[in-house]
Chain A
Amino acid sequence: MTVLLEARGVSVGHGRRTVAAGISFALKTGQVLCLLGPNGGGKTTLLRTLLGLIPPLAGEVQLEAVPLAALSRREVAHRLAYVPQAAPGGFAYAAREVVAMGRAARLPLLAAPGARDHALAEAALDRLGISHLADRPVTELSGGERQLVLIARALVQDARCLVLDEPTASLDFGNQALVLREVRALAVRDGLAVLMTTHHPDHALLVADAAMLLHGGAMAGPMPPADLITPPRLRAAYGVDAVVGALTTPQGERLVCAPLVAPP
């Protein structure tokens, strides 16, 4: 297993304002790493730093053992693909065209996607089981479908490392499970290194090999999700009481995390 994405003592923030400091982790091939943390805790700032969209205030981010700062946008995109949240709105491009946009870093400046690029887009849609959506405008798709289209776009980018920003946010119960299954498959079947943020500690228990929690300007972890996700830590981060317990499922025993709602 090779380390693809590594943070060494990274501080993140905007301008002179530090949001979080002392962040270190290493993400390897075939691994899913979950980033947890309350809103406003710096998850998005950290993601933008890891993508090289803003510089770290301290420390260094390395992509395939090369400092991120030494890579061009194109070179970063060859190594790291980003799946943003599937926000509604935007332009009504056909799904296949959105996926083909993932080829941007592999095409010369003046070129448009050709037959080979469209074949790759087709294959990625097929891989995620959404070939039937290829000609639909993305603005008409459901949140879950749009999320899968964006994952397909990241796949044709042909990078070994994938960063997903809350891929299960605003999805219904079924679509959440669908997306989580694909995230797991990308790591296990395709050997990609996957970093995803989530609001659900339970999702980390479901699919992650390691998890970390960003809260109060500091990072806990990475460590095995079962070690990270404990009631005291969730209480401190989210201000909510929660239980973590083993549940017997058809797939064997697994840890489940559920919040407790105080009676009114």
Chain B
Amino acid sequence: MKRGALAWGVGVAALIVAVLGALAVGRFPIAPAQLWAILTGAETGTAAIVFWNIRAPRVGAAILVGASLAAAGAAFQGMFRNPLASPDLLGVSAGASLGAVLGIFLGLPVAAVQGLAFAGGIAAVAAVAALSATVRGQGDPVLVLILAGIALGALMGAAISLLKILADPYNQLPAITFWLLGTLSAATREDILAAAPAALLGLVVLMLLRWRLNLLTLGEDEARALGVNTTALRAFAVAGATLATAAVTALAGAVGWIGLVVPHMARMLGGPDLRRLIPLSALLGAAFLLAVDTLARVAGRTELPLGILTAVLGTPLFLWLLVRARRGGAA
């Protein structure tokens, strides 16, 4: 219980610091004191306009994206009993990327690119699930599912590469490359409102199932012997994680690293029980992506892609936690 309180404390504190930091830096800083005035309506000047129209949507987007990716990653790592699992294991990121790249290649408007990304992510996982269902009966259903995801992911990767070669190298290729590394620089309030319902629905599904998902970590036979319909439970959880991941990928692009590594940080802090791990991962993922996005805004003269910063900043942090946990025996 003490460990739980500490983990929650770290998570909440990290998010608060990240939010205040995100507001306080940038071309138009908003100090914590000013924030109170804006929230209560006492301040209605430029600061309030910047806050409501630019800063708050972007902070909200970063929180949504980080929380969704990290929670989906935690759920996947648990239910597939694999520490290397991430939300794109079954092809959702590859499918969303293919959809978005296709949209950019065809010169479609932003909303259509986002729609194609969302649909691509869902369609890829649906195809993987259908493929694995047809070959079921022989062998381990989890292994078949993962192999189908890897195979289809490779195929979609090839299609993305082809589109990159065919794309106009001066306008389309940079846009594609940027999208594939992830960014929130173009996210508007409308984009966020479009992505939020699907992402939140996916998160709610994972939150509601999170105790039962623990049972899948015991392995197929043990879970079924305990009375769990593993096929149905896994289908619900994959659907929830896919919905959340596809929605935020459509919003922010293919932001890597978070879904893979943040769940490990959360596990070091709070243990493997998914009842704690999924919400804690969401909290840490939100804080981390918000911090990274803030840096992306202010670090260079042009905005840096999120995918680069998550890895550059996250890896040392992760290694530090790893060394510390090994020494303390907490992991």
Q: Chain A interface (Cβ within 8 Å of chain B)? A: 15, 48, 51-53, 72-74, 76-78, 80-82, 84, 90-94, 97, 101-102, 104-105, 109-113, 137, 157
Question: B residues within 8 A CB of A110?
Answer: 208-209, 212
Given contacts A90-B218, A101-B214, A112-B211, contact A157 B273 (CB under 8 A): no
- The number of residue pairs between A and B whose CB atoms lie closer than 8 Å in the complex comes to 71
Whether B272 and A91, one on each chain, are in contact in the complex, defined by CB atoms closer than 8 angstroms, is yes
* B residues less than 8 Å from A15 (CB atoms): 138
Closest B residue by C-beta to A82: B225
B residues 112-159 in Cβ contact with A at 8 Å? 138
Say whether B212 contacts A109, CB under 8 Å: yes
* Interface residue B314 (Cβ < 8 Å from any Cβ of A): no
Q: Is the CB of B221 within 8 A of A48?
A: yes
Chain B 49-71: CB-based contact to A (< 8 A → 1; otherwise 0): 00000000000000000000000
With known contacts A74-B227, A92-B272, A93-B273, A104–B222 Cβ distance under 8 A: no
User: Which of chain A's residues have a CB closer than 8 A to the CB of B228?
Assistant: 73, 104-105
Contacts of A157 in B (CB 8 A): 226-227
Chain A residue nearest to B138 in the complex (CB): A15
User: Does B34 make an interface contact (CB < 8 A)?
Assistant: no
B29: CB under 8 A from chain A? no
- B5–chain A nearest beta-carbon distance, Å: 15
B208: chain A residues within 8 A (beta carbon):
110
State which of A91, A97, A105 has its C-beta within 8 Å of the C-beta of B227.
Answer: A105
- Could you list 9 further interchain pairs (A-B, Cβ under 8 angstroms) beyond the known A73-B229, A84-B222, A101-B226? A73-B224, A76-B227, A82-B222, A82-B225, A90-B217, A104-B228, A105-B226, A109-B212, A110-B212
- CB–CB B227/A73 < 8 A: yes
Task: List 8 A-B residue pairs with CB atoms under 8 Å apart, sorted by A's residue number.
Answer: A76-B225, A78-B227, A81-B225, A82-B222, A84-B225, A90-B218, A102-B226, A105-B227
Known contacts A91-B272, A97-B273; A104 and B215 CB within 8 A of each other: yes
Q: Is B189 an interface residue (CB 8 A)?
A: no
Distance between Cα atoms of A82 and B223 in the complex (Å)? 10
A77 contacts which of B138, B212, B227, B273 (Cβ < 8 Å)?
B227
Tell me how far the C-beta of B331 lies from the nearest C-beta in chain A, rounded to whole angstroms: 8
B15 smallest CB distance to A (angstroms): 24
Give min CB distance, A182 to chain B, whole Å. Answer: 19
Chain A CB count within 10 A is highest, among B138, B227, B271, for B227
Q: Please give, as numbers and ranges, the residues of chain A lying within 8 Å of B222 by CB-CB distance.
A: 82, 84
Query: Across the interface, which residues of A come within 8 angstroms of B271, CB to CB?
Result: 92-93, 137
Contact present for A77 and B229 (CB under 8 Å): no
Distance between B2 CB and nearest chain A CB, rounded to angstroms: 11
The residue that B226 contacts in the complex, of A72, A93, A104, A113, with Cβ under 8 A, is: A104
CB distance from A55 to the nearest CB of B (A): 11
State the CA gap A173–B124 with chains docked (Å): 53
- Give the distance in Å from the alpha carbon of A234 to the alpha carbon of B266 in the complex: 53
Q: Top 8 closest A-B pairs, CB basis?
A: A105-B227, A77-B227, A112-B211, A82-B225, A91-B272, A74-B227, A104-B226, A110-B208
Say yes or no for B275: interface residue by CB 8 A criterion: yes
| B209 → A minimal CB distance (Å) | 7
**From B329, which residue of chain A is reached at the shortest CB distance?**
A140
Determine the distance from Cα of A212 to Cα of B272 in the docked complex, in whole angstroms. 40
Chain B residues near A78: list those with CB within 8 A: 227
Query: Which residues in B have their C-beta under 8 angstroms from that of A113?
Result: 211
